Amino acid sequence: MAALVLKRAAPLDRLRAGHPWIYRGEIADLRGPWSPGDVVDVLDGAGHLVGRGTYNPRTSLACRLFAGRGEAVDEALVRRRVAAALAYRRAAGLAGDAFRLVWSEADGLPGLVVDAYGPVTILQCFTLGMTRLVSWVVAALREARPGSRLYRWDDAAAARIEGFTPERGWIDPAGDPSPAEVIVAEGDCRFAVTIGEGHKTGLYLDQRENRPAVAAHAGGRRVLDAFCYTGAFACHALRAGAAGALLVDSSAEALAGARRNLELNGVAERAELREGNAFDELRQLERRRERFGLVVLDPPPFTRRKDALDAAARGYKEINLRGLRLLEPGGVLATFSCSHHVTPALFESICRDAAGDAGVTVRVLEVLGQARDHPVVLTVPETRYLTGLLLQAV
């Protein structure tokens, strides 16, 4: 096994506290034979073992630690980590019809995401190193969820960065390669999940706890679900007694999924679907002086890069300003950011500025975040990416 030697100035306290990332600039040397994606020993500047992780010189984040000084990176470790991830979710009552089973660094398996949708388990590799361990992951998932159909759906963007060929398809030898739809339950709602199509299969699991929490404010109100994707927020709101809902998205494919979900939940007759740019639609609704009792803003990430943070902040401020102006007296705004560079403090500041410019006084009803099956590790702040606020116009 090759040995990666850290510079003496490398942040050992951060690594020993559980943060698993080592950047290229923190590496002094690499000794012994290796190839990209290999597991390597990680040594401090004095030659002491820090841990073991996968190494990829192609990226600035060059090594991700998997194990401490007393552990080997092997099939037994992967099995333990997957079993522990499932045990946590079962103990917390999170292992329902659809849930995240493995959340990368938060579950000690950097570069791996596993989602369960009814009888199907979807695994995604985000790093070259994880692709080298995937056979162990498959064995662990078969043990953890016996009888579940396994589908591999690697992240294409991550594959380009990491330098591997993404795979997509059924892992089971007898699996049908054609997309298969499964229906999953989430509280009082049911949603269609098409395996192998759409983004995140058409259902974002990180909002699974926020959707019913937001819907609790929908009774008798008109709802605007901007950036609606496949309409999960609107379905919950309508099932909770909303008078009607306007769903806006720029994707015809997403709106087709929303229509399917509205029909599945028996609420399609109270919903209007509108294809268009949500920024433009928010402006037009304001010009027409339309008002809503509940506005949901759940856009895709406005940036994945720290150097584009200012532009992202302007985008978040714009939509929140418009959303606040569309509220009727006493109305509620549920607003979110899934750009992990936008911290909760920054997002709150953006919304504060938007409220000031909109001339709307709001009270904070609740601070929202990602569902508990996407756990946040305190010493790995990058595991927190979804932040939200539930605001009420006074």
Catalytic residue set = 338
Tally Cβ neighbours within 10 Å of residue 117: 24
Q: What are phi and psi of 141, to 5 degrees?
A: -70, -35
Tokens (6 digits) for 65: 């630690």
DSSP string, 218-242: -TT-EEEEET-TT-HHHHHHHHTT-
**Exposed/middle/buried for 190, CB within 10 Å: 0-12, 13-18, 19+?**
middle
Tally Cβ neighbours within 10 Å of residue 315: 18
Estimate to the nearest angstrom the gap between the alpha carbon of 288 and the chain centroid. Answer: 34
Helices and strands (H, E) in the chain, number of each type: 11, 20
Tokens (6 digits) for 210: 């926020």
Tokens (6 digits) for 114: 């596993």
Cα torsion 44, 50, 52, 56: sign: negative
Tally Cβ neighbours within 10 Å of residue 260: 18
Residue 377's SS3 state is strand
Residue 144's nearest CA partner among 167, 169, 123, 174 is 123
Tokens (6 digits) for 47: 């030659």
Strands 222-226 and 292-297 turn out to be: parallel
Q: How far apart are CA 215 and CA 19, in angstroms?
A: 36
Q: How far apart are CA 71 and CA 69, in angstroms?
A: 6
Tokens (6 digits) for 116: 């369960």
Q: Specify which residues 335 forms β-bridges with.
A: 297, 389
